[in-house]
Structure 1
Amino acid sequence: METEDKLLMLRCSVKNYDWGRLAGDSQVARLFSLNSGSEPEPDKPYAEFWMGTHDSGPSFLLSGDENMTLKSWLSKNPNALGEKVLGKWGCDLPFLFKVLSVAKALSIQAHPDKELARTLHKLYPDLYKDGNHKPEMALAMTEFEALCGFISLEELKVVIRTVPEVMELVGFGDALPIFGLTDQDNEETIKRELAAVFTRLMFADKKEVTESVGRLISRLIKESQVRELTDKEKLALRLEKQYPSDIGVIAAFLLNYMKLNPGEALSLGPNEPHAYISGECIECMATSDNVVRAGLTPKHRDVQTLCSMLTYKQGPPEILRGIPINSHVTRYLPPFDEFEIDRCVVPQGESVTFPAVPGPSIFLVVDGEAIIKVGGSLRVYIAAEGDVILAAANTVVCISEASDLILYRAGVNGEFFEASEA
C-alpha cells in the first residue's frame, strides 16, 4: 500500500431524523456542513453524522473517484483493515462511528444480539436492515441525558407504591408479587416478575394509557405547586410534551435516568433497554442499524419482540470516564471487540502521536486544526473541523502544530488484538 493511501479523507453521511437539533444548534449540522461543503437547511433537524461503511449511510472518498464508497475501496484494498480484522470480520469495518445531536427523546429501544438479529433480518428485512448485533457506546460531548437499564428492585417497589398510574396499567395481580421479593431471592425469579410488570405495562390498552398519562400529568402539575418534583417526575412532564399519551412517559419510571457530563460515557450491550433524551454525543457501535422500538416514537413499534428479548438486569449502568493514555489522549474501552473510542485534546502548538495499531481507525476533528501525517512520510495534511480521516492498519499517525485541536478516534478494541495474540 502506498504511503498516501494510508490516510484517506472521507465525505460522510447525515441523517435528518425528527428528534435531531435544528441546524443552528446542532454539532451534526456544523460538522456535516464543514465535511461536505454544503450549507445546512435552517429549518431541518440534523440528528446523526455517520462515518463508516454501513449501506444506510456510507462514507465516500474525497480524493480520486469521489463516487467510490469507503466500503468499495476497502474491498479493493483489504490490507488497510489488517490481518486480524480481515480474518474475523471480512472486508469491512466492524464499527460504525457517529455524532448525535439530540433535541427530543429517541425511542425506548434495544438492539438485538447476533442470533436474534439474524432471525429478525431474515423474517423482516424491510424493518431490520442487517443481521448483525449492535452493542454501542455513547460518549458525552455536552451534558447528556439518557434512560438506560431497569431500576433496582427497591426502587421498583417505591415506584409501584408512589406512581399510581403504574399500578393502574400493570394491575394488582402482576404488581403485587414484586413486594414479596428481596435482593436475596433468586435472580431469575426477580427478572421474571420484573418482565411481567414491564410487559403488562407496554401492552396496556391505548385508551387506558391515554387516560393514565393524562392523570399523571395533571397530578404532577398540581403537586408541583406544593413540593419539588423529582428528576424523574420532571422528565415525565417533558416526555409527555414531546410524545403525548405515549406509554413511554410512564415506562420511564422503570428505567434508570442518567445524566452524563462531557467526557463521560455509557456502554450499552445487546438486549438492554435505553432511550437518549437530550444532548450531543460521540457514538460508536458494531456496524449495524438494527433497532427494536416500543415507546416514545412515531416509528414502527415491535413491543412483543422488545419485551421478550430484554435481559431484565437491574441497577444503574457503569459510567465510563476513560483511561488516560498520555497527557492528550483518553481511551474508552467497552466490553466489545468491535470498537474503542479515543478523545484527544491538543493545546496550541503541541503534538501527539498515535502509535500503529493492527486495525483501521477513523479520526474526526471537531474543533481546531493541526498538521497530520503518516510517521516517516514527508506528505502532510492540514486537518480542520469537520475533517474525517481513515488511517489504515499499522499506520503511525503524527499530529503536530495543533491549534486547540479536539478530535475523536474510533478503532477496533485494542483488547481484541491482545486476546488474539494470547
Structure 2
Amino acid sequence: MISMALKDWVSANSNKLLGHTIVQKWGSDLPFLFKVLSVRKALSIQAHPDKDLAKVLHKFMPSAYKDDNHKPEMALAITHFQALCGFITLEVHIVLDNVPEIVQVVGSEVANQVFDTTNADGEDKVKSVMRLIFTQLMSATKEIVTTATTKLKNRLHMENQVRQLTEKEQLVLELERQYPDDVGVMSAFFLNYVKLNPGEALYLGANEPHAYMFGDCVECMATSDNVVRAGLTPKHRDVKTLCSMLTYKQGCPEILKGVALNSYVTRYLPPFDEFEVDRCHLSQGESVEFPAVQGPSIFVVTFGEGIIYTSNLTGDINITQGEVLFVPADTEISITSASELHIYRAGVNSMFFQVP
C-alpha cells in the first residue's frame, strides 16, 4: 500500500474529492482545518488577521506569517471549556479602580484619559480609549510588567484572606502561576471570561483577541496558520501588529447552542463560508444517516466505536475513538454505534451552497 498525505491526495483529485463548486471558490485544497484541542495550560493571547492584513503580513514577514489567508475559527466544547474572548463592556475606569497595578503600568496620563471617558461619549471614543490603554499595557517593558504583576499577585493573595476573590481574579492568579511576569496576566482584566458547557460553541472573527484557558474542544477554522500573539506565550510576539489590528469592539461573544437536525445530530453554523460543525451522539445500537453534500467532510471519533457505510464503497468500515475519516463530496454515509459513540463532522458551511 502506498501512503500519501491527505493534502497531496486531495490536490491530485480535487474536483472528484472536493466538488466543482469548492474548487471554483477555494482551489484544490480543503477550505477548512479540523482538530481536537485538550487545553491544560492557557494558550496565547492572540488574534487572526483579516484577508487584507494577512496578505500584507505574508508579503513582508513570510517567516512568521506563512500564508495570505484569514483564519476565522470556532471552538465547540467537548467538556466544560474556558476562554478569554473580546473586550468587556464594563466601563474601563472600573477596571482601573479595582486593579491599581494596571495604572502603575500605563501611567497616570493614560489612566486619566480613561477616567474622563464614559460609555456616554459614544462608541468611537470608547474604542479609542480602549485601544490607547490596551496598547500602552501590552507595550510596557519587561521590568515594569514584572514589578506590577508581583504586586498584583501579592495583593490578591492578601485580599483572599479577608474576601472571596472574583472569578476573574482567581483566573489571573492561575495565569500568573502558569506565566510569571507576563503582560498577558493583567490584560485578562480587559477581556470577557467565557465558560462553555459541553455542546456549546464559540466563534471568533478576524481581528478579535482571544485565548483558550482550559478544557477539551473540537476546533474548526479556515485553512491558515496566521496567528498574531502578544501574551501568555513563549512563541514569537508581535505586539505592535496585534494592538493595531484589533477592532476594540466591546461586548460578550455569541454562544452557539446549535440546531438539531434530528435526534442525534446538532449543527453549528458560524457566519463564515468555509466551515460548519456537526455534533453526533449515539447510544449503543442506534443509527444515523448523513446525506450527501456538495463539499468534502472530515469526521473525528472522540468516544466509543461503531460501523460506517458510505455510498461510494462496498462493505462496512469499523471506526473507533481517535480515528479520523475523510469523506469526499457527494457521498452519503450511515453510522451505526457498537457502543455509545461520539463523532464530530466538519464540512463547508451549508449556507454557502444556498447563495444564489
Match of 1:83 among 7, 10, 20: 20
Aligned position for 1:128: 65
Q: Mind listing any 5+ residue stretches in structure 1 that lack a counterpart?
A: 1-63
CA–CA separation in structure 2 for the residues paired with 1:344 and 1:158 = 43
- How far apart, CA to CA, are the structure 2 residues paired with 1:283 and 1:401? 24
Aligned equivalents of 1:340, 1:376: Cα separation in 2: 23
Partner of 2:336: 400
What residue identity is the alignment partner of 1:135? P
- Mapping 1:264-413, distance limit 5 Å: 264-375=200-311, 378-413=314-349
Provide the identity percentage: 60
Aligned equivalents of 2:314, 2:307: Cα separation in 1: 12
Q: Is the 8 A contact 1:351 1:402 kept in 2?
A: no
How far apart in 2 are the matches of 1:210 and 1:117?
32
Structure 2 residue matching 1:226: 3-state secondary structure: coil
Deviation at 1:165, TM superposition (A): 0.7
Helix, strand or coil at the partner of 1:305: helix
Counterpart CA distance in 2 for 1:414 and 1:221 is 50
Partners of 2:42 and 2:80 in 1: CA distance: 14
Q: Distance in 2 between matches of 1:354 and 1:280?
A: 25
The residue aligned with 2:158 is 222
Q: Residues 43-58 of structure 1 correspond to what in structure 2 (within 5 A)?
A: none
Equivalent residue number for residue 89 of structure 2? 152
CA distance in 2, matches of 1:336, 1:103: 28
CA contact (8 A) 2:47 2:209 kept: yes
AA paired with 2:70?
H
In 2: Cα distance, 1:401 partner to 1:206 partner? 54
SS in structure 2 at match of 1:370: strand
Does the Cα contact within 8 Å between 2:282 and 2:337 map onto a contact in 1?
no
Q: Structure 1 residues 77, 164: CA separation in 2 closer, same or farther (over 3 Å shift)?
A: same
2:193 aligns with: 257
2:311 counterpart letter in structure 1: G
Q: 1:157: how far off?
A: 2.4
- Counterpart pick for 2:169 among 228, 233, 243: 233
Pick from 150, 168, 179 the counterpart of residue 104 of structure 2. 168
1: distance between equivalents of 2:249 and 2:198? 26
Give the length in aligned residue pairs: 355
Aligned partner letter, 2:176: E
- Paired with 2:58 and 2:281, the residues of 1 have a C-alpha distance of 40
State the 1:125 CA deviation.
1.3
Report the Cα distance in structure 2 between the residues aligned to 1:96 and 1:396, rounded to whole angstroms.
21
Deviation at 1:182, TM superposition (A): 3.6
Q: Following TM superposition, by how much is the alpha carbon of 1:103 offset from its aligned partner in structure 2, in angstroms? A: 1.2
Q: Which amino acid aligns with 2:195?
A: K
Q: Offset of 1:377 from its aligned partner?
A: 5.2
Q: What is the rounded CA distance, in whole Å, between the counterparts of 1:358 and 1:184 in structure 2? A: 49
Residue 51 of structure 2 corresponds to which residue in structure 1?
114
CA RMSD of aligned residues (A): 1.3
Q: Secondary structure at the match of 1:330?
A: strand
| CA shift digits 1:259-284 (9 cap, x unpaired) | 11111111001110011111111000
SS at match of 2:253: coil
Q: For the Cα contact (< 8 Å) 1:140–1:264, is it kept in 2?
A: yes
CA contact (8 A) 1:346 1:402 kept: no
Return the alpha-carbon distance in structure 1 between the equivalents of residues 220 and 18 of structure 2: 18
Q: Distance in 2 between matches of 1:190 and 1:265?
A: 28
- For 2:165, the aligned partner's letter is L
Runs of 4 or more, structure 1, over 4 Å off, are none
1:93 is aligned to 2:40:
no
For 1:328-374, what per-residue CA distance to the aligned partner results, in whole angstroms no more than 9, with x for missing partners?
00111111000111000011111000011110000111111121111
Q: 2: distance between equivalents of 1:74 and 1:375?
A: 19
Alignment-mate amino acid for residue 180 of structure 1: D
Task: Provide, for residues 234-272 of structure 1, a one-character-per-residue CA deviation record: whole Å limited to 9, x for no partner.
Answer: 111111111111111111101111111111111001110
Q: Distance in 2 between matches of 1:344 and 1:195?
A: 41
After TM superposition, the score normalised by the length of structure 2 is: 0.97
AA aligned to 1:250 is: M
Q: Give 1:153 deviation, angstroms.
A: 4.0
Letter matched to residue 409 of structure 1 = R
Output the TM-score relative to the length of structure 1.
Answer: 0.82
How far off is 1:401 after superposition?
A: 4.5
Q: 1:200 is matched with which residue: 101, 125, 136?
A: 136
**SS of the residue 2:121 aligns to:** coil
Distance 1:158 1:97 in 2: 39
Higher relative contact order (CA 8 A, sep 6+): 2
Question: 2 CA distance for matches of 1:117 and 1:277?
Answer: 26
